[in-house]
Amino acid sequence: MRTSVVFAIAFSLTGFFASAQNFEKQAPQGFDQKKENIPHGKIDSIQYPSKTVGTVRKALIYTPPGFNKNKKYPVLYLLHGIGGDEKEWYKNGTPQIILDNLYSEGKLTPMIVVLPNGRAMKDDRATGNIMAKDKVEAFATFEKDLLNDLIPFVEKKFPVKKDRENRAIAGLSMGGGQTLNFGLGNIDKFAWVGGFSSAPNTKEPQFLLPNPQKAKELKLIWISCGDADGLMPFSKRTSDYLRQNKIPHIFYIEPGGHDFKVWKNDLYIFSQLIFKPVDQTSFPNFTVLGIPAESNNRNSRFPQILPNGKAIFRVKAPEAQKVQIDLGKKYDLVKDQDGTWKTTTDSLSEGFHYYSLLIDNVAVADPSSKTFYGMGRYASGIEVPFAGDGYYAMKDVPHGDIRIQNFFSKVTNSWRRVFIYTPPGYDKNQNVAYPVLYILHGGGEDESGWATQGKTNLIIDNLIAEGKAKPMIIVMPDANIGPAGFGSFGARNLQMFDRELKESVIPFTESNFRVKKDAANRALAGLSMGGIYTLHTGVQNSDMFSSLGVFSSGWILPSLQEVADNEYKFMNENKQKINSNIKNFWISMGGKEDIAYKNCQTMMKKLDELGIKYSYSEYPGGHTWPVWRNNLYNFAQLLFNDSK
C-alpha cells in the first residue's frame, strides 16, 4: 500500500529580506581573501574592568569602513572556541577581511563587532589543560562578565545602539554553546542569536528554553553545523526542540567538519542576515544540506531531509543509463562525473513514505535505506520529521518490548508469525494480567507494519509514561489470508480472518501471555484492509470486544456492495446488542484526500440510518502512516478505562 503524498512547494531565497535582495546560501570563492582596492575597517585591542572576574580583561573590536563616531551602530558579540581566546577569530577566521569584502558589495548593515575572551577567569589564556574543570566553568561564568561588565563598557565607550534589537551574539564550538545559552537565556538582551557548531556545553533545550514561546520574540535564531561534524547532535536537538514548539529558526547544514572553513562560511552568511528585516517564513528553505533520514541504514549520509521537508538523494551507479526515485511522483536524477546520481525532491508530507529506486526502469530497494514490507513487497522508506511528531519520539521513559512469535494456524494449516508488544514492567510484574488490543495492518503490508512503520511501541510507551493510556498488550497478526487483490476484502477472506483470530490468534495470545480474557479487556482495530476486517469480525463478535477502531476504511463500493448489504442486515438485526457491547466504536479518516473517504462517508450514513452508535475523527494526511500513527495515539487513550 503506497502511503506517500507529495506536495510541490517551490521557493526562492529572493525575498528572504524585505528588500528582496539576492542571497547566496554559501560563500563564493575568494570571500575570505583580502582586497586592496576597497575600504577597510579597523581592528583594535580594548581593555575593560571586570567586576565579575576581579581584573582587567582584554577584547578585540572591529569598526566598519567609514566608521563615524557621531553615528550609532548595532553590535555583534562574536565568541571563540574552547582552545582560543579573543584573538582566535582574528588569527584563523579573518572576520575583518570577510566583513570588509561584504561591505564593499553593499551586503551588510554597518555594525561594530566585539571579539571577547569567553574564558572568564584571571588567567584566561588558552594554555595548559584547556579542559580543566575551572577553565571549562569559566566559559559559563562569562555570561555574567558579558552582561554586567563588557556590554556596559562597550556601550559607554563606543557609539552603539543600546536596545536588544541592535544587539547580536554568535560563536563557534564552545562559543556556539555559550551563544545559545546566553542568547536564548537572555532574550531581553539579544534579538539575534547564532550558534556555529555548538559544543556539548549547550544546555539541554528544555532547560535552555523552559518557556519556548518566549523565543518568538527573537528576530533570528541561527543554528549551523557541518554535515561531517561529530557535534551535530547538539545542534540537531536544539533545532528539533524549536521545531516541535513551532519556533521560527534557521537550521543551516553545510559541507564540512569542525573547522574554520565552516565557521568562516557561517560568519559570511550570518552577518548578512542581522540588523535587517527578515521573512521568518523563509527560514525552513535556508540550508545547503539536510539531516540524514532516521530511516537510513547505519552511516548512510543520504537520503537527507531538509528543514522544508524536501529530500536529497544520492545514488552511486556509474554504469546506469537512467536513475529515478519513485515517491508516488517520479524524480529524475542527474549524473555527475564520478557516477553519482543526484536529485532534490519537492517538499514531502510529514511522516513515513515508501519509495523505490528505479535503475534503468527496474525497481529496487535503495541500499542506503532500511527496507519495509509495504506495496506488496520490500521497499525503501524515508521518514520526514515534523513539529507534531514528539508523541512517537524515543524518550527517556520506561520501554516495553516487541516480541516476534510463531504459532500454528488451524485455519491456514501453516505456521504464522505475530508481533506482540508487551508494556514496561511486563516481565517483572509476574502477577499482573493486562488488557489486549489486536491491531491489523493494511493491504500490501504484513504483521511487521504496526511495529515498524507504525511505531506502536514508542506511541504506547510514551502514553503510558504520561498516564494517558492503560498498560496493555498489543497483538499485531498477519492479516494476509486467502486470495489477494480485491479478493482480500471479499466474504471468504472476511470469514477466514474471523476464524483465524478466534481459533488461533486469540487462543495463542491467551495461552502464552498474561492477558485478561473478558470482552471488557479486549479491543480490535485496523487500518484500510485491516479496518474492513475489524468491521466484520468486531461487529459480528461484539460480545468479544469492548472497543473497535476503524482507521481509513469503509466498505469498497460497488465492489463489495453485496458484502456491505449483508453486514448492514446483520447490524440492523443486532443493533441493540452491538450498541450495548461496543463502548468505543471509533471511526477515523485522513481527511478528504484519504482514498477511503467517500466509502467511509457512505458507510457512516448507513450506520446513522441503522441507529449504530459510533464516534468519528479526522486527521489530515490522506491514506498514510502519519494518519494511522495519530489514530493509534488517540484510540489507545480511550481503551480499557472502565475495565477491571
Which CATH number goes with the domain that contains 333? 2.60.40.10
User: What is the Cα–Cα distance from 150 to 47, expressed in whole angstroms?
Assistant: 9
Q: Which residues contact 505 (CB under 8 A, 6 or more apart)?
A: 407, 418, 438, 475, 477
CB burial class (10 A; 0-12, 13-18, 19+) of residue 62?
Answer: buried
* Matching residue, cell 535564531: 221
Quickly state the pLDDT bin for 484 (edges 50, 70, 90).
Answer: low
Tell me whether residue 33 is in a domain: no
- CA-to-CA separations, 97 to 19, 58, 106, in angstroms, rounded: 25, 22, 14
**The pLDDT of residue 375:** 81
How many helices and strands in the chain, by DSSP H and E?
Answer: 15, 27
Note whether 280 and 299 are same-domain residues: no
DSSP, res 203:
P
Query: Of 521, 527, 643, which is closest to residue 589 (Cα–Cα)?
Result: 527
The three-state secondary structure class of 549 is strand
The pLDDT value given to residue 387: 81
Q: Residues 167-195: what's their mean pLDDT? A: 98
Residue 31 is assigned to a structural domain of this protein: no
Distance between start and end Cα atoms, the chain: 38
Domain identity same for 369 and 409: no
The pLDDT tens digits for 183-197 are: 999 999 999 999 999
Mean pLDDT, to the nearest integer, of 14-35? 70
- Is 464 inside any structural domain? yes
Quick one: 304 and 166 in the same domain? no
Of the candidates 423, 418, 420, which has an alpha carbon nearest to the alpha carbon of residue 504? 418
What per-residue confidence (pLDDT) applies to 489? 67
User: What integer is the mean pLDDT of 107-116?
Assistant: 98
Average pLDDT, the chain: 93
Residue with the bigger pLDDT between 19 and 445: it is: 445
Q: Which of 317, 352, 384 is a domain's end point?
A: 384
324 has a pLDDT exceeding 50: yes
Whether the predicted pLDDT of 6 surpasses 90: no
Q: For 262-288, what is each residue's pLDDT tens digit?
A: 999 999 999 999 999 999 999 988 899
Structural domain including 463 reads 401-638
104 and 184 housed in the same domain: yes
| pLDDT at residue 485 tops 70 | no
Whether residues 216 and 306 share a domain: the answer is: no
pLDDT at 403: 98
Q: Looking at the structure, do residues 206 and 300 belong to the same domain, yes or no? A: no
Packed helices 456-465 and 625-636: angle between N→C axes, nearest 10 degrees = 30
At 10, is the pLDDT very low, low, confident or very high (cuts 50, 70, 90)?
Answer: very low
Residue 172: per-residue pLDDT: 98
Is there a domain that residue 1 lies in?
Answer: no
Is residue 97 a part of any domain in this protein?
A: yes
- Asked if residue 534 has pLDDT above 50, the reply is yes
Domain containing 607 — which CATH number? 3.40.50.1820
Q: What percent of the chain has pLDDT over 70?
A: 95
pLDDT surpasses 50 at 308: yes
For residue 17, the model assigns a pLDDT of: 40
Gap between the Cα atoms of 201 and 206, Å rounded: 14
Rounded to an integer, the average pLDDT of 537-563 is 94
Mark whether 146 and 223 lie in a shared domain.
Answer: yes
Q: Do residues 46 and 58 make contact, with C-beta atoms less than 8 angstroms apart? A: yes
Domain final position from 268, 285, 302: 285
Q: Is-contact 407 415, C-beta < 8 A?
A: yes
What's the rounded Cα separation, in Å, for the pair 277 and 272? 11
- Pairing mode, if any, of strands 436-440 and 473-477? parallel
Residue 22 lies in a domain: no
The percent of residues in the chain predicted with pLDDT above 90, rounded, is 88
Residue identified by cell 459510533 is 614
Residue 557: predicted pLDDT:
84
Q: Is the pLDDT of residue 3 over 70?
A: no
Same domain, 270 and 156: yes
615 three-class SS? strand
- Asked, for residue 204, whether it belongs to a domain, the answer is yes
The reply to whether 407 and 375 lie within a common domain is no
Does pLDDT of 4 surpass 90? no
Residues 200 and 223 placed together within one structural domain of the fold:
yes
| Average pLDDT estimate for 306-314 | 93
Mean pLDDT of the region 68-93: 97
Q: Say whether pLDDT at 120 is over 60.
A: yes
| Confidence band, pLDDT 50/70/90 cuts, at residue 483 | low
* 121, part of any domain: yes
Residue corresponding to grid cell 479526522: 618
630 shares a domain with 609: yes
Q: 621-635, pLDDT tens digit by residue?
A: 999 999 999 999 999
Q: Estimate to the nearest angstrom the gap between the alpha carbon of 297 and the chain centroid.
A: 17
Q: How far is CA 315 from CA 236, 340, 358, in A?
A: 25, 6, 11
* pLDDT grade for 368, boundaries at 50, 70 and 90: very high
Q: If we measure between CA atoms, which residue out of 577, 580, 427 comes closest to residue 513?
A: 427
Residue where a domain terminates, one of 229, 258, 285: 285
Between CA 60 and CA 79 the distance in angstroms is 11
Higher pLDDT, 62 or 487: 62
Measure the CA dihedral 320/383/445/458, to 10°: 150
Q: Residues 338, 442: one domain? A: no
C-alpha angle 93-29-303 in degrees, rounded to nearest 5:
90
Query: What order do you get walking across the sheet with 311-316 strand by strand?
Result: 291-292, 304-305, 311-316, 340-344, 334-335
C-alpha cell, 5: 503524498
For 397-445, write each residue's pLDDT tens digit: 999 999 999 999 989 999 999 999 999 999 999 999 999 999 999 999 9
| Alpha carbon distance 243, 36 (integer Å) | 44
How large is the average pLDDT for residues 556-581? Answer: 94
User: In the chain, what's the furthest Cα-to-Cα distance?
Assistant: 93
pLDDT score at 487 = 52
Question: What is the gyration radius of the CA atoms in the chain, in angstroms?
Answer: 30
Total domains present in the chain? 3
* pLDDT at 102 (0 to 100): 98
CA distance 36 to 286: 32
